[in-house]
Structure 1
Amino acid sequence: MRQLILLRHAHAEPPAPDQSDAERPLTEGGQREATAAAAWLAAHDVQPDVVLCSPARRTRETAISIVDVLGAADALRFEPRIYEATPATLIDLLDEHANADCVLLVGHNPGLETLVALLTDGTSDSGRGMPPGSIAWLHVDADSALEPGAANLRHFWWP
């Protein structure tokens, strides 16, 4: 059984004048959300083989909070393809890590919520939303391809 853990970044500041979207930091509340997500993952004994993270500041800050608590800093990889990714791009990226038992991907909406709907329900229009800091923990049979309806939702959590 493969585990795919999809984590949306925690709440971020709105863009300041002359600041790019990619450079938006977490709010104080977002920092608390990231800490809560890390605690939840640790309480569930998550041990990712690889942590894939968008290079956007808010995802980096969220991921660092997580890997510090999980002791998984060596597993952290910044992946530019996650920023503004479609579900197809995210599936391609996850397929590149098909040999990992547990992949934690830290990214953005709408890509993450659409990916969860696609992998669990087989459709891309039934997304239920992923609030900032939320986690969708999916199971996929080890020999199964990542395709519509191939995953089961094990947990859905948000701060």
Structure 2
Amino acid sequence: MSVAEPRRIVLFRHAKADWPQVTDHERPLAERGRMDAAVAGRKLADTHIPVDLALCSTSARTRETWKLAVQEFPHRPKTVYEERVYEASPGELIAVLNETPDDAQNVLLIGHNPGIQGLAEILAGSAEGDALERLSRRGFPAAAFAVLSFEGSWKSLEPGTATLRDYWAPSE
């Protein structure tokens, strides 16, 4: 696979979580979160992006979001549960993405705010249509996702090198 072909990153925030008496890492999805995760999965499948690799935070709510969303995909990509994605800053998330093998063309990253929104804003040096306006207006609510593309190797990914291609958030 040539590193000259555009790569895509799907940044996916976990769906709405519940607040039971457990540690933050172990918080499960709320009922609405379970519904929104499945809807987001269908919307992601509708993008027809052949995801090669999913990098998922190890928290219960991100794992549950991914389990429900990926059921809507035509094929299940390789999934890596990555501890460093939990509570990561945009810079830490870039470092994780920089380690992605170059044979992965399209990567989906399932994580948390404020890191996911910050990463989308930092990476997007440009945007198509009104995607950036919608992201700025809505923020990055639970179960939202953004699709970005860039050219080069994963090691070359840095702030401002990507184009925001799409943004979707569930209705409130």
After TM superposition, the score normalised by the length of structure 1 is 0.89
The alignment of Structure 1 onto Structure 2 pairs a total of residues equal to 153
Match of 2:107 in 1: 103
By how many angstroms is 1:143 displaced? Answer: 4.8
Secondary structure, counterpart of 2:71 in structure 1: helix
**3-state SS of paired residue (2:61):** helix
Does 2:143 align with 1:138? no
Say if 1:67 and 1:76, in contact at 8 Å, map to a contact too: no
Distance (whole Å) between structure 2 residues aligned to residue 42 and residue 75 of structure 1: 16
> Quick one: structure 1 residues 27 and 2, their matched pair in 2 at CA, closer, same or farther if it must change by over 3 Å?
same
Alignment correspondent of 2:26 = 23
Residue deviations 1:31-57 (CA, integer Å, cap 9, x gap): 111001110111121221100000100
Equivalence for 2:87: 84
- Give the whole-Å Cα distance in 2 for the aligned partners of 1:61 and 1:71: 19
Gaps of 5+ in 2: 1-5, 127-134
Aligned 8 A contact 1:64 1:73 in 2: no
Q: Name the Cα RMSD after superposition.
A: 1.8
Q: Residue 117 of structure 1 aligns with which residue?
A: 121
Q: Which position in structure 1 is the counterpart of 2:49? A: 46
Q: Which 4+ stretches in 1 moved above 6 angstroms?
A: none
1:121 positional shift: 4.3
For normalisation by structure 2, the TM-score amounts to: 0.83
Alignment gaps of 5+ in structure 1: none
* Cα distance per residue 1:46-100 (max 9 Å; x no partner): 2211000001000000111122221544511100000010111111111111511
